[in-house]
Chain A
Amino acid sequence: MNATTWATQILEVLAALAAAPLFLGWVNMCRAWLQNRRAPSLLLPYHGLRKLFNKDAVIAETASPLFRAAPYVVFGSMVAAAAIIPSMGTRLPFTSAADAIALVGLFAVARVFLSLAAMDTGTAFGTMGARREMMVGFLAEPALLMVIFVASLISATTALPLIAERLATQAIGLYPSLAFTAVAFTMVLLAENARIPVDNPATHLELTMIHEALLLEYSARHLALMEWASALKLFNYACIGFALFVPWGVATGEAGPPALLMSMPVLAGKLAVAGAWLAVIETISAKLRVFRAPEFLATAFLLAVLGLLVHLLLGA
């Protein structure tokens, strides 16, 4: 526990806060390119946040204090989640306080508060969104947990930074079980971050929306926090993916500032590739009907369980 680890910890959280909207902007940019549109500015999400923070808030008369507290709770749990995920260095002081299971728990906290807040105003779309969000969540959460379990079994710990460190420092990094879980994880990522094929982040078409339906009644600073939190969530998921499946390049062990500096461009490179990959997936797939979403997620869940089984069978 020295100054470097604390610096790494703070740096990672700040980097996540700063880079999350940028990553979202990058995904949108790639999407626009792939769809033959002129791309919006990479900085558009920042402009959006600034605009929202500078507005008067409009709150429904029917809303309770829970509605106003929820954006802060959702944002807070996403930031806390960012503190557990090893995006640059693996020696994080916060690691021992919360492991990967607690990370899944933090995502669940955000989801539950988001859904409760959507039900709070008592509108038709809010409750519909809450129901669908919870439907996606209850299948995505165990799938994510199973993905993490496989990696935990391989590395004999549930602390995410240690998992990343062990996977990164091992001589052979090829595990058949991780191949299954990587597919499952990608599916969970798409579903949990309201991407195509489960949800469409660019639409407000009433009957198909999930995530946007939850945010309908929010405005100004509350909406800004919610938007920022969902950008953070996407960033967090991407970094979990890196930690589990491409852990190379993070500063492992008692690495000093140089290693940490080296890991920054690596992370940026990974994010650039991941964003482009996400845009490709979203472009080549069509949105599913809402009732096909459980099948999609059940597939993800079963793939993750299959990964677990493969690990137990082959021991790898």
Chain B
Amino acid sequence: MTVLESHLSAVLVVLALWLAIGFCGLLRQGSLRLVARVLFPTSALCGVALAAVAAASIAAPAETGLLVVGLPDLPMHVRLDALSSAFLFLLGASSAGISIFAAGYFRKGQGTAPGLLCLQYHLFLAAMGFLLVADDAYGFMVAWETMALSSYFLVTAQHGLPEIRRAGFLYVMIAHVGALAVLLSFGVMQGGSWQFTFDAMRSAELTPGWATAAFGLALVGFGAKAGLLPLHVWLPEAHPAAPSPVSALMSGVMLKIAVYGVLRVTFDLLGDPLWWWGLIPVGLGLATALFGVVFAAAQTDMKRLLAYSSIENIGILFTGLGLAIVFYGADMRPLAALALTAVLYHALNHAFMKSLLFLGTGAVLHATGERNLGRLGGLIHRMPWVAWLTLVGVLAIAGLPPLNGFVSEWLLLQSFLFAQEVPHTFVNMLLPLGAPVVALAAALAGYVMVKFYGVIFLGQPREPSLAKAHDASRLEKLGLVWLAAGCVLLGLLPVQVVRALGNVTSQLTGHAVPTAQGWSSLLAPLPDREVSYAPLVLLLVIVAVVAITFLTVRLAYRRAVRRVPPWDCGFVRLDARMQDTAEGFGQPIRHIFQSFFHMERQLPSPFDAAPRYRVTVSDRIWRAFYAPLGGIVQRVADSVAWLQQGRISTYLLYSFITLVLLLAVGL
């Protein structure tokens, strides 16, 4: 069998190529030219190839294989099915844009050498790809750990700064708590057969209790990676610390890998989820979504703002996932397929739009050296490319039609709307009340995105140095264009996307959301309800109205346009500091959702010669849970440290006591 005949081997070849590209970086560690001109563009091409293979294999039957690498007598099982293909497409397509942007992004400077960065970056990519095709716990955990560690090194690329080392430590710690939970979950799922292939887990007969334990552990483990409440604390620290392409990759792709994990475990390995399991992700997801978006509105650092927005989107994904479990367990397969389609669609959308936004902030960071929203402004005049392309991402993530964010939101709301046939009366009543929360989170996302875009790109520059800002380089623009085009296409062609995702939902639930044949643009997901959406038509109507209005106004009224200073109710001494700052724009949210935050305010007195206003917003969960936990760990560690006496004779005594104890137990 040749390589190209099998999709699986084509995928493995791409992953091997990524690894090879990574190691090529080591050849000349300090050479930026090799990395930027050759390696990253090639890697982007590999991403495109991976996306193409995945797009082809999503409709093909599952393929399995055996990789004889690594430890003797322990081959790795690999498998490519529709679920893997969907996420491989996500990985390939969004990483293509990110890699080509990265080719123009990485500069010489302090921190990790470009060649080493290239190795870490591609190790990260290859690990995520391998994780998606792994078909036994061994391969999965190796890939999972490689992913965590390579991304740790990427996060700490600027390891000279203490706060970045701290962010990296927090990240790697929570990643390992999560990894332990995932490992234990696999341990439960093998069900006494001591076979760790996924096939053995699929056929294992678990009692409901053990199955629930496995699901709970998987939810904790993957939830920690995804940033589900209350395990989200690493996310707003690690994302801003990493270089922008890495933030994009972590937020856009790695968080989705965690969603893949939950899907794989719940629907494939465990097989028959109990319906009430789904209530946990629904509850946690709704809380996470609201929490994330409210905190995003209060942020003043543009990358932290995006990190919190990722938390919100993870919340939405888990909400949909929980709904799918409830529907599946309650034997409402078509609705389960609808909710799952919403989840997969949103994962794909978020990969594109969040990567686009993170890369946009990367371009701004390079042009201005600023991450603080309070020192930006007016960049649409200096960086039109970045500004207009970022606008696409902003509108998409705010859930505005006809872009992609709206489609998945629409699908999710539809599945909530018709959730009222769950057999359990109380739940049946409670579940549709999730819809207002999703709607509120989506509307707040619009608020957050207006703040993000308005403060960075619109208005007047808040610092004189911004006048020297320059637009992105050509490769960077190419990356942004790729991702923006993805947002537009995913928004305009929902039928084609839903049809492709139908392969995944029929693998997992046995049902697919019905779609019209051919190139119809009318999405009508529920045959027994009259609900439909056709973004192409919507866009055409809006464009037609705008064009007619524009031409009519232009032809009928040929009046001149004069450029004058802004009016502002006749105030003449207007300056840039009179615009809303990021704090100012977030103030209504801080006011309304006061109980979410722990706030510390320092207000100047009226007689201060140099008045300063400072408000610090922090996370209640950190203070209520993590800080005490950290204290306990510290105290335990301190008391255990007493054992370390520093004298050889004491240590020999320890060995002796241990030996005696072991003998005593042994006898």
Could you list which residues of chain A lie within 8 angstroms of chain B, going by C-beta atoms?
53-64, 66, 72-73, 75-77, 79-80, 83, 94, 96-99, 101-102, 105-106, 108-109, 111-112, 115-116, 119-128, 130-132, 134-135, 137-139, 141-142, 145-146, 149, 152-153, 156-159, 162, 204, 206, 216-217, 220-221, 225, 291, 294, 298, 301, 304-305, 308-309, 312-313
- Give the CA-CA distance A73 to B543 in the complex, in Å: 9
Given known pairs A53-B557, A98-B534, the reply for A108 and B400 (CB within 8 Å) is yes
Query: Quick check: B566 and A61 within 8 Å, CB to CB?
Result: yes
Provide the B424-449 mask, 1 if CB < 8 A to any CB of A, else 0.
00001100110110011011101101
* In the complex, B380 has a CB within 8 A of chain A: yes
Contact, CB under 8 Å: A97 / B549: no
Stretch from B27-35, B451-459, B610-618 that touches the partner = B451-459
A225 touches B569 (CB 8 A): no
B residues near A128, Cβ cutoff 8 Å = 580
B647 CB within 8 Å of chain A: no
Whether B566 and A132, one on each chain, are in contact in the complex, defined by CB atoms closer than 8 angstroms, is no
For residue B106, CB closer than 8 A to chain A, the reply is no
Asked whether A225 and B549 contact (CB < 8 A) given A98-B538, A122-B460, A137-B446, the answer is: yes
Q: Do B559 and A56 have beta carbons less than 8 Å apart?
A: yes
Contact between B549 and A131 (Cβ–Cβ < 8 Å)? no
- Complexed CA–CA distance, A122 and B589 (Å): 21
Residues of A within 8 A of B417 (CB): 149, 152-153, 158
Chain B residue at smallest Cβ distance from A224: B553
Q: Which of B524, B549, B553, B578 contacts A123 (CB 8 A)?
A: B578
Q: Which residues on B are within 8 Å of A, measured CB to CB?
A: 377-378, 380-381, 387, 391, 395, 398-401, 406, 410, 413-414, 417, 420, 428-429, 432-433, 435-436, 439-440, 442-444, 446-447, 449-451, 453-455, 458-460, 522, 524, 529-534, 537-538, 541-543, 545-546, 549-550, 553, 556-557, 559-569, 571, 574, 576, 578-580, 584-585, 587-589, 591-592
Kindly list the 7 A-B residue pairs having the minimum CB-CB distance in the complex, ordered from nearest: A122-B459, A122-B460, A119-B454, A142-B439, A97-B537, A127-B580, A60-B566
Known: A119-B458, A225-B553, A294-B592. A73 touches B546 (CB 8 A): yes
Complex Cα distance A102/B522, Å?
13
CB-based contact B443/A139 at 8 Å:
yes
**Can you report 29 A-B residue pairs in the complex whose CB atoms are below 8 A from each other?**
A54-B557, A60-B567, A61-B565, A72-B546, A76-B545, A76-B549, A97-B532, A97-B533, A98-B537, A101-B413, A108-B443, A112-B400, A115-B454, A116-B458, A119-B459, A120-B458, A122-B458, A122-B459, A123-B568, A123-B578, A127-B585, A131-B580, A135-B447, A135-B589, A139-B443, A141-B443, A142-B442, A149-B417, A312-B420
B592 to chain A, nearest CB (A): 5
Please indicate the chain A residues that have their CB under 8 angstroms from the CB of B410 in the complex.
Answer: 101-102
Nearest-Cβ distance from residue A50 to partner chain B, whole angstroms? 10
Residues of A within 8 A of B429 (CB): 309, 312-313
Which single member of A56, A59, A116, A123 contacts B454 (CB below 8 Å)?
A: A116
B14 CB to nearest A CB, Å: 37
Could you tell me the distance between the alpha carbons of A142 and B290 in the complex, rounded to whole angstroms? 13
Asked whether B531 lies within 8 Å of A159 as measured between CB atoms, the reply is yes
CA of A81 to CA of B619, assembled, Å: 40
Q: Are B541 and A83 in contact (CB under 8 A)?
A: yes
List B contacts of A55 (CB < 8 A): 559
Q: A120-B458, A124-B571, A137-B447 are in contact. Are A146 and B439 (CB under 8 A)?
A: yes
Counting chain B CB atoms within 10 Å of each CB, which of A83, A101, A304, A309 scores highest? A101
Q: In chain B, what residue has the closest Cβ to A297?
A: B592
For A298, the chain B residues whose CB sits under 8 A away are 592
Q: Please indicate the chain A residues that have their CB under 8 angstroms from the CB of B556 in the complex.
A: 53
Bound complex: CA A214 to CA B262 (Å)? 45
Given the complex, which residues of B lie within 8 Å of A76, measured CB to CB?
A: 542-543, 545-546, 549
The answer to whether A308 touches B436 (Cβ under 8 A) is yes
B108 CB, min distance to chain A CBs, angstroms = 33
CA distance A54 to B576 in the complex (A): 32
With known contacts A105-B401, A122-B377, A122-B566, A127–B454 Cβ distance under 8 A = yes
* B414, B420, B541, B563: most-surrounded residue (chain A CB, <10 A): B541
From residue A178, how far is it (CB to closest CB) to chain B in Å?
A: 16
Q: A298 to chain B: closest CB distance in Å?
A: 8
Given contacts A59-B562, A73-B546, contact A94 B537 (CB under 8 A): yes
Known: A54-B557, A102-B410, A157-B529. A142 touches B576 (CB 8 A): no
In the bound complex, do residue A206 and residue B569 qualify as a contact, i.e. CB atoms below 8 Å apart? yes
| Residues on A with beta carbons closer than 8 Å to the beta carbon of B585 | 127, 130-131
- CB contact between B433 and one of A77, A120, A123, A308 (< 8 Å): that residue: A308
Q: In angstroms, how far is the closest chain B Cβ from the Cβ of A181?
A: 12
Q: Interface SS of chain B: helix, strand, loop or mixed?
A: helix
> Are B530 and A305 in contact, with the CB atoms below 8 A?
no
A108→B588 contact, CB < 8 A: no
- Say whether A66 contacts B588, CB under 8 Å: no
In this complex, what residue of B is CB-closest to A129?
B580
Are the CB atoms of B546 and A61 closer together than 8 Å? no
- Give the Cβ gap from B526 to chain A, nearest Cβ, in Å: 9
Instruction: Give the complex CA separation of A112 and B458 in angstroms.
Output: 13
Nearest-neighbour CB distance to chain B for A60, whole angstroms, equals: 4
Docked pose: A63 CA to B533 CA in angstroms: 35
Does B400 contact A97, Cβ atoms closer than 8 Å? Answer: no
How far in angstroms is the closest Cβ of chain B from A53?
5
Q: Of B413, B451, B529, which is within 8 A of A156 by CB?
A: B529
User: How distant is the Cα of A248 from the Cα of B140 in the complex, in angstroms?
Assistant: 61
Q: Quote the shortest CB–CB distance from B357 to chain A (angstroms).
A: 15
B534–A96 CB distance below 8 A: yes
Q: Kindly provide the distance from the CB of B453 to the nearest chain A CB, expressed in whole angstroms.
A: 6
**Contact A138:B443 (CB < 8 A) given known A102-B410, A131-B588, A157-B529:** yes
Q: B60: shortest Cβ distance to chain A, in Å?
A: 33
A60→B391 CA distance, assembly (Å): 21
Docked-complex contact B580 and A291, CB < 8 angstroms: no
Residue of A nearest to B540 (CB): A97
Residue among B420, B543, B559 making CB contact with A54, cutoff 8 Å: B559
Report chain A residues within 8 Å CB of B395: 109, 112
Are B541 and A94 within 8 A (Cβ)? yes
Residues of B within 8 A of A225 (CB): 549, 553
Given contacts A75-B545, A106-B401, A141-B439, contact A58 B564 (CB under 8 A): yes
With A142-B439, A162-B530, A294-B588: A57-B562 Cβ-Cβ less than 8 Å:
yes
**Residues of chain A lying within 8 A (CB to CB) of residue B433:** 305, 308-309
- Do B564 and A61 have beta carbons less than 8 Å apart? yes
Inter-chain contacts of A217 with B (CB < 8 A): 566-568
Give the docked Cα–Cα distance between A267 and B440 (Å). Answer: 33
**Are B436 and A305 in contact, CB atoms less than 8 angstroms apart?**
yes
Residue of chain B at shortest CB distance from A161: B530
Q: How far is the CB of A97 from chain B (nearest CB, A)?
A: 4
From A62, A97, A125, A134, contact of B450 by CB (8 A):
A134
Nearest A residue to B453, CB-CB: A116
Interchain CB contact under 8 A, A75 and B549: yes
Residue among A119, A130, A139 with the most chain B CB within 10 A?
Answer: A119
Contact partners of A145 in chain B: CB under 8 A: 413, 435-436, 439
Closest to B568 in A: A123
Give the Cβ gap from A133 to chain B, nearest Cβ, in Å.
Answer: 9
**Which chain B residues lie closer than 8 Å to A220 at the CB level?**
559
B376 CB to nearest chain A CB (Å) = 12
The reply to whether A108 and B447 contact each other, CB–CB distance below 8 Å, is no
| Alpha-carbon gap, A64 to B611, bound state (A) | 33
- Which residue of chain B is the closest to A54 with respect to CB atoms? B557
Chain A residues positioned under 8 Å from B458 (CB to CB): 64, 66, 116, 119-120, 122
CB of B440, distance to nearest CB on chain A (Å): 4
Chain B nearest CB: distance from A90 CB in Å?
A: 12
Kindly provide the distance from the CB of A225 to the nearest chain B CB, expressed in whole angstroms: 7
In the assembled complex, how far is the CB of residue B316 from the closest CB belonging to chain A, in whole angstroms? 14
Return chain A residues, CB-CB under 8 Å to B522.
96-97
A158/B443 contact (C-beta < 8 A), A124-B574, A125-B569 known = no
Interface pair A134/B447, CB less than 8 Å apart: yes
Cα distance A54–B391 in the bound complex, in angstroms: 32
